Structures are given as C-alpha cells and as structure tokens.
Chains A and B, each alone.
Chain A
C-alpha cells in the first residue's frame, strides 16, 4: 500500500534552516507530484508548494519564495523540503502529500513533522 513516511520532529533556533524528508513507497515514485502543506498550532492548512518527482519542476507559494526549496531523490523515492531563515511563526506541523499541481486532490499524506522554532 502507498505510504509516505516523514522524518522526526525538529527544534530550531530563529535564523536556522530545517530540512524535512518524506519517503514514499508502494507506487512508482516518478509518476507523481508531491506537495507540502503546513499547519501552525490551532490554525488551518497552508499550501507551501509542489514538486514533480518526474522532472523536478517546482512551484512555491509566493509568501515563501526565496526561503523554501523542494527537491527529490529518485534513487530513494524521497521528497525533501528545506525552509531557511526560520522565524517563530514557522512553528508548525509540516505534511507532505501526493497529488497534482492544481490541487485536484491529494490522496496520500505523511504523518506530519513538528518543527518548533524557538530561541
């Protein structure tokens, strides 16, 4: 069955970077795209961006442009999301999910990774 397994929780200081991984299994990795969605404590979902596992094409949320980079490693079927210059309001649970760019539907989700930014 399809599974997306994310890396563990992180605690970072303001100004640092974090890189979260999402390992996919159970389907042909390069047939799909993957999105990253985050959820601040007690808040709603925020779309961060999308990457094609086929050709590495990316599309990032305007508010994160310049701070976020999404990459894939096809040899390990893993998607990565790196966020730089962390601020306290980046504290959130970060989810990866499988689906197309235009959000027709994300059918499988990772379990989430809590990133805490605190001095």
Chain B
C-alpha cells in the first residue's frame, strides 16, 4: 500500500489529453515538492516534472504538472504511442522522514 495514491491505469486515444492524479496528505504532498517520472518498459525512470511544475531541459511542453493542496496532477497532451509507459509521482514525507512514491499508473494510448 503506497503512501501516495495513483490510479492503476489510464487510457486515451492518440492526439488526446490525459491526466494522472496523485493523492497524498499534509505530511507529504501538502508541504513538499512533487516530481513525476516516466518509466518505459525495461528502462530506468526518467524525470518529467520537478518542483511540482517545472520541466527539465528536453522534456516537451506536452507534459505539465500542477499541485493543489494534498494532490498533484500530471497532464499529457497530444498523446503519442511512444508515451505508453508507467508514470510515478514522488515526494518527501515529513512524518516518515523519507521519500515516497505513488504506486504507478500505466498509460495506454489506444
């Protein structure tokens, strides 16, 4: 059971938009930065969003992040088949004094 809650799966058609939610509490998302990672099959995770809503160099603006209260959201527009992957949110938990990840969301581009 993960500290952060993500939907197990989401799906949408190519070209459409999808959002992935990450729900937590005041001890984690509510008072700490959130980051998002994309993991393609058989590869290491890749940073998509850091400090809630910032994109690293090289990440297209189709990917966006937001945070409100104790929840965060990853948005992906203009879906491509290459976006099929597992997506994870992560943050610090002040009560645990440790890092935590969501359980992951599998994105299917139909």
Contact = CB atoms under 8 A, between A and B. Distances in A.
Interface of A: 35, 37, 44-47, 49-50, 59-62, 95, 97, 101-107, 109-112
A107 B88 contact: no
Interface residues of B, number: 28
B14 interface: no
B92 A105 contact: no
A95 B45 contact: yes
A111 B44 CA distance: 6
Nearest to A60: B98
Given A44-B2, A46-B101, A109-B45, A103 B88 contact: no
B90 A45 contact: yes
A97 B45 CA distance: 9
Prevailing SS type, chain B contact patch: strand
5 contacts: A44-B103, A105-B54, A106-B37, A109-B44, A111-B44
B47 A62 contact: no
A112 B39 CA distance: 12
Nearest to A111: B44
Contact of A104 (B35, B44, B96, B104): B35
A103 B47 contact: no
A52 B63 CA distance: 30
Given A45-B90, A105-B49, A95 B98 contact: no
Contacts of B91: 103
Nearest to B49: A105
Interface in B41-97: 44-47, 49-51, 54, 56, 88, 90-92, 96-97
B100 A47 contact: yes
Centre residue among A62, A95, A106, A112 by max chain B CB count within 10 A: A106
A1 to B, nearest CB: 11
Given A105-B33, A105-B35, A106-B35, A47 B49 contact: no
